[in-house]
Each structure stands twice: as C-alpha cells, then as structure tokens.
Amino acid sequence: MHRRQFIGNAVTGIAVAGSVLVSSEGATSAEARPPLTFVLVHGAWHGGWCYRDVAAELRAKGHTVFTPTLTGLGERSHLNGQSITLETHIRDVCGVIEAEELSNVVLCGHSYGGMVTTGVARGISGKRHQEQ
C-alpha cells in the first residue's frame, strides 16, 4: 500500500468514526445530521494536497473541508527557515479558522499535524474563554 493511500484510508476511517459518533448522539439518519466542517492538517513531510481524495469524498457528502499547507512544508517549502516553529504552524491553522470565520470544526491532524491541531484546539478554546 502506498503512503498516500494509507494516509487517505486512515483519515477516511477517522471521518467515518466521527460520523458514527455524531449519529450515536441522537441523529436518526444521515439526512438529519447537519454537514460538518473539517480542517485536515498534514504531517511534517506533506502538504494540504495529501488530503485531496479524502477532501473530495467528504465534500461529496456535503461537508466543508479545508486542507491548509503549513508554512515551510509541501508547496510552501520555499518559506522554510529557522524562524518556522510549531507555533508558526498553529498560527497558520488558527488563521484559516479565523479568516474563514469557522466554528464547530472537526480538527484532524496526521502525525506532526496532531501536535498542530492540539495547539490549535488549546488556542481556540482559550480565546473563546477570553471573549466570554
């Protein structure tokens, strides 16, 4: 199995598991559930492109999907430098969420992207507490 196919299958599995969790919380059918908003964050040696097939499948089911490429990685590798840190990548994803005015997002991170999404979740929840 190729690495891209493996990653795609893993994310599809996570998305399906998320759908099962949503349905177990009271929705009676797929039509009764509102569409979800996914932010898929790639690992250290990828770019947002690695989620192309998964994103297409989720969009075909009516969901909204964002697949940002982190600064200094993937097609943005020309921006890499000593100043690029985990915090930079957390700001990248928070920036997408803020610029697109997203709420109630499903954050999904692969490998290093899991560290990024953890920081994003902390940052967003901290910001919400400050606003209240």
Structural domain span for residue 98: 3-131
For this structure, is 125 an active site residue? Answer: no
Are 86 and 116 spatial neighbours (Cβ–Cβ below 8 Å)? yes
User: Which of 80, 61, 81 is CA-nearest to residue 69?
Assistant: 80
What's the pTM value of the predicted model, to 2 decimals? Answer: 0.72
Report the pLDDT value the prediction gives residue 78, as an integer from 0 to 100: 81
Q: pLDDT tens across 79-121, in order? A: 788 999 999 999 999 999 999 999 999 999 999 999 999 999 9
Which CATH number fits the domain that encloses residue 93?
Answer: 3.40.50.1820
Report the pLDDT value the prediction gives residue 129, as an integer from 0 to 100: 43
Residues in Cβ contact with 61 at an 8 Å cutoff, skipping those fewer than 6 apart:
30, 35
- What does the radius of gyration of the chain's CA atoms come to, in whole angstroms? 15
Which residue among the candidates 19, 77, 103, 111 is catalytic per the annotation?
Answer: 111
Q: Is pLDDT at 18 greater than 60 in this prediction?
A: no
Residue with tokens 């929705």: 27
105 to 3, 39, 82, 89, 124: CA distances (angstroms): 26, 7, 30, 17, 11
Q: Looking at per-residue confidence, does 45 or 3 come out higher?
A: 45
The total number of structural domains in the chain stands at: 1
Q: What are phi and psi of 50, to 5 degrees?
A: -65, -15
Tell me the pLDDT band of 32, cut-offs 50, 70 and 90: confident
Tell me the pLDDT band of 3, cut-offs 50, 70 and 90: low
